[in-house]
Amino acid sequence: MGSVSLTNICKSFGGVEVLHDISVTVQDGEFVVLVGPSGCGKSTLLRCIAGLEEVGSGDIHIDDRRVNTIAPKRRDIAMVFQNYALYPHMTVAQNMGFSLRLARVGAEEMRAKVDEAAAILGLEDLLERYPRQLSGGQRQRVAMGRAIVRNPKVFLFDEPLSNLDAKLRVQMRSEIKQLHQRLKATIVYVTHDQIEAMTMADRIVVMRGGRVEQIGAPLELYDNPANVFVAGFIGSPAMNLFPALLADGQVVIEGAGTLPAAPDAPPGEQPVIVGMRPEDMTISDTGIPAEVVLVEPTGAETQLLARLGGQIVVLTMRDRIEATPGQRINITLPPAKIHLFDPETEASLRTPVATNRSREVDHA
């Protein structure tokens, strides 16, 4: 397996800069997800790593080799495409063995490698079929099989699950993650779905408009978003974000009331954007008053829309609650859970706090 390092990558398409000075390092065996809204440059960046696009400036290293000018086939990478890109006129076995055939590997060795990959992915019974005879999930597996057979230094995934239905997507998500754990593969994975990013990644690279907004482990990004964009992008339902005033250690929400800010909030008085995660807020006897707008029970939890001053906020409750629209409630949340951002720069005004990792599970 290998590492990937991107240093100061810039790229333009006809005068429009689509990648601005991007530097990311992917460690050997790491699962890194590039995530962001469409048009943020994540796929372009992946294609640059693959060699399907040339970079304008900057360096791409795979292991210690600079690969900028090296053809895709010599970069020792494998790529899984969004539409799978299976060769329609070849059987599953031929699809998976295609790279070996081009490399003039002997028939016996090819057969063995294809069988090995097929066994990993549960494709043994489908080897003689054609792609059109497979379901979406099976095609996805064949595309991964084609990558595995090559035993590359780096696996590149370009939105591999977005053509699947919701249920299959969840299933394939865990299959890919298990595959990563089993192969100890280095993976760079592109998606626009932040849940995919959160659930699969060792580290997430959040991108917007061709720039890297933040890089970190999923829960680091969740707990300490560096700016308003990351705060709103990571997490579902999204963090409640709205303008407020920070004054003498208090967050003043116009028309609603005040909440105590965290001790590390900047002193003095300034306008801020306040951020509150839906699940951090609780209903209590004290706190700022709000009015229930809508109650949405989902079974495991209940979502509550409430009017807080001029804002509609979302609360997520683990407990089942009895609430009716129009009912008056009080909302509170721990000061440490209140995120504050500069309205001008949109950057976080707080020093990041250590993320609470879950307790190690005993692998007995």
Partner 1 sequence: MSRGNHLLFWTMMSVIGAVIAIYVLFPIFWLMLAGFKSADELARLPVSFWPSEPTLQAYTDLFAPGTQSAQLLDWPRLISNSFIVAVSSTVIVVFFGAIAGYAFSRLSFPGRDLILGGLLVSRMFQGAALLLPTFRLMNALGLEDSLLGLIILYSAFGLPFATWIIASGLREIPVELEEAAMIDGASRLQSMVIVVLPLATPALITAAMWHFVGAWSEFAFASILIESSRNTTVTIGLASFVDYFTLEFNRVGAAATIIALPVLVVFFFGQRYFTRGLLQGAVKG
Q: Does 229 bind partner 1 (CB under 8 A)?
A: no
**CB of 36: closest distance to partner 1 in angstroms?**
21
Closest CA to 23 of 60, 66, 55, 72: 60
**CB of 16: closest distance to partner 1 in angstroms?**
16
Task: Using CA atoms of 125, 144, 160, 194 in order, give the dihedral in degrees to the nearest 10.
Answer: 110
**CB of 93: closest distance to partner 1 in angstroms?**
14
Any bridge partners for residue 244, and if so which? 272
Contact pick of 38, 69, 88, 359 for partner 1 (by CB under 8 A): 88
- Answer positive or negative: Cα dihedral of 88, 91, 96, 98: negative
Q: Does 114 bind partner 1 (CB under 8 A)?
A: no
The smaller minimum CB distance to partner 1, of residues 72 and 249, is found at 72
**CB of 228: closest distance to partner 1 in angstroms?**
35
Count CB neighbours of 231 within 10 A: 26
Contact pick of 38, 64, 102, 324 for partner 1 (by CB under 8 A): 102
The smaller minimum CB distance to partner 1, of residues 79 and 306, is found at 79
The smaller minimum CB distance to partner 1, of residues 77 and 276, is found at 77
| Whole-Å CA distances, 6 to 19, 24, 49, 185 | 12, 5, 8, 18
Backbone Cα Rg of the chain: 24
Task: Give strand ranges (E) for the chain.
Answer: 4-13, 16-26, 31-35, 57-62, 65-66, 77-80, 154-158, 186-191, 203-208, 211-216, 240-247, 250-253, 257-260, 269-276, 282-284, 288-297, 302-308, 311-317, 328-332, 339-341
x/- track of binding to partner 1 for residues 58-77 (CB under 8 A): -------------xxx---x
Q: Does 191 bind partner 1 (CB under 8 A)?
A: no
Cα of 317 vs its chain's centroid, Å: 24
The smaller minimum CB distance to partner 1, of residues 147 and 244, is found at 147
The smaller minimum CB distance to partner 1, of residues 134 and 313, is found at 134
Q: Does 313 bind partner 1 (CB under 8 A)?
A: no
Binding to partner 1, residues 128-167 (CB under 8 A): 146, 150
Range in contact with partner 1 (rule: CB under 8 A) among 20-28, 84-92, 214-222, 330-338: 84-92
The smaller minimum CB distance to partner 1, of residues 159 and 196, is found at 159
Task: Using CA atoms of 190, 196, 201, 204 in order, give the dihedral in degrees to the nearest 10.
Answer: 60
The CA angle 288-294-299, to the nearest 5 degrees, is 105
Q: Does 321 bind partner 1 (CB under 8 A)?
A: no
**CB of 67: closest distance to partner 1 in angstroms?**
13
The smaller minimum CB distance to partner 1, of residues 75 and 203, is found at 75
Contact pick of 78, 200, 230, 262 for partner 1 (by CB under 8 A): 78
Q: Does 83 bind partner 1 (CB under 8 A)?
A: yes
Closest CA to 299 of 320, 325, 313, 274: 320
Closest CA to 158 of 24, 48, 4, 20: 48
User: What one-letter code names the amino acid at 24?
Assistant: V
Q: Does 43 bind partner 1 (CB under 8 A)?
A: no
Q: Does 103 bind partner 1 (CB under 8 A)?
A: yes
Q: Does 85 bind partner 1 (CB under 8 A)?
A: yes
Q: Does 42 bind partner 1 (CB under 8 A)?
A: no
Instruction: Report the C-alpha gap between 57 and 68 in whole angstroms.
Output: 9
The CA angle 210-52-173, to the nearest 5 degrees, is 70
Q: Which residues form the interface with partner 1 (CB under 8 A)?
A: 50-52, 71-73, 77-79, 81-83, 85, 87-89, 98-99, 102-103, 146, 150
